[in-house]
């Protein structure tokens, strides 16, 4: 669910962060968001992508999910609530 294309697109739009996937639609993204995805696609093709998670809230949610302390649905809901204005 967290890696769903539409979820990743919405997260990218609401948070301004690069998506975890390179195959999402750029519909609805501003020029900066579109460049983000383009750059990510190019780096992915060169095998030069390094992940970074420096948001404490996101890190906490993902840790709880990975440790089976919450469902994918709940994690997605919390992430969207965190980044939706």
Model pLDDT for residues 29-80, shown as the tens digit of each residue: 888 888 888 888 888 888 877 666 667 888 898 889 889 999 988 988 888 8
d(CA 65, CA 41): 27
pLDDT at residue 84 greater than cutoff 90: no
Q: How confident is the model at residue 15 (pLDDT cuts 50, 70, 90)?
A: confident
The model scores a pTM over 0.75 = no
Predicted pLDDT at 50: 67
d(CA 49, CA 31): 21
Closest C-alpha among 42, 36, 45, 30 to residue 17: 36
Contact 2, 71 (CB under 8 A): no
């Amino acid at each position: 669910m967290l890696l769903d294309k539409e979820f990743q697109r919405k997260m990218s739009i609401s948070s301004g962060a690069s998506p975890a996937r390179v195959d999402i639609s750029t519909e609805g993204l501003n020029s900066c968001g579109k460049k983000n995805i383009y750059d990510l696609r190019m780096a992915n093709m060169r095998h030069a992508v390094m992940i970074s998670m420096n948001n404490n809230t996101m890190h906490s949610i993902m840790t709880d999910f990975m440790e089976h302390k919450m469902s994918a649905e709940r994690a997605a809901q919390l992430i969207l609530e965190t980044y939706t204005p």
